Structure 1
């Protein structure tokens, strides 16, 4: 059994309710959280600390409006490498990690090697990102870009079974 499966058996229905509430309201007070899950504030605080300590809660952050911050264009880029060797994978990963415009980068199975999600101001900014960052990444042979026209669903909330 892998680590994730082992950890997921250690939490109960109440822990799952705590996690579900925190995903949608990370600033909720312990008192309000306790009221929502019908548990005492002390017991809720203990469970919260354990969930944090055990790595179920990775971090807390504020979700910002990209349009108000001048980052209105969301793009997805398929990246195909010229060769798939451990050194190229490692160099590519290090380079992507240094690019602040890149929000996510995933190695995928299929017709290309990586799927990159990036936010920029506009198409001109994307063109600069493509030429200055993406195409200069180690091992990049080919890219295909998909500019997002409309967000249909955009969430960070995981489906937590009760």
Structure 2
């Protein structure tokens, strides 16, 4: 796929699937803004790999569950790159526990990051995409959002919510 001149945001991109997505987008020509919450060394290393491909990489610390953090990140990307063409919502956490032992905090954190975080970024790029007349949103979810998994009711509820949101 040719993404030359396109600008992407990837949430949860300092490790794992998110970093692989960010690198693949850059390999295909996109500049990539990487969202991370804790892993700044890893996020900056991914940006270094993106730069080595001749693309622009931008690591931005932001809590996806925070509406204003998402807004600030999108605004920063527009300021630095000129526009946003692609959003990949990938950030996620597992806070596994059987429902009768799950704390309210475990439930809330899983839903805040895995579902509300996706809404937060969609909400801030959607007006840009409408104004530009184009834009792509990819929401990463899980098969568990379709069938559930024992000990992951919070995670699977969020992933099912992403399917509905998409």
TM-score bin, normalised by smaller chain: under 0.3
Give the TM-score taking structure 1 as reference length.
Answer: 0.24
Of the two, which has the highest radius of gyration?
A: 1
The structure with the largest helix share of the pair is 2
Give the TM-score taking structure 2 as reference length.
Answer: 0.23
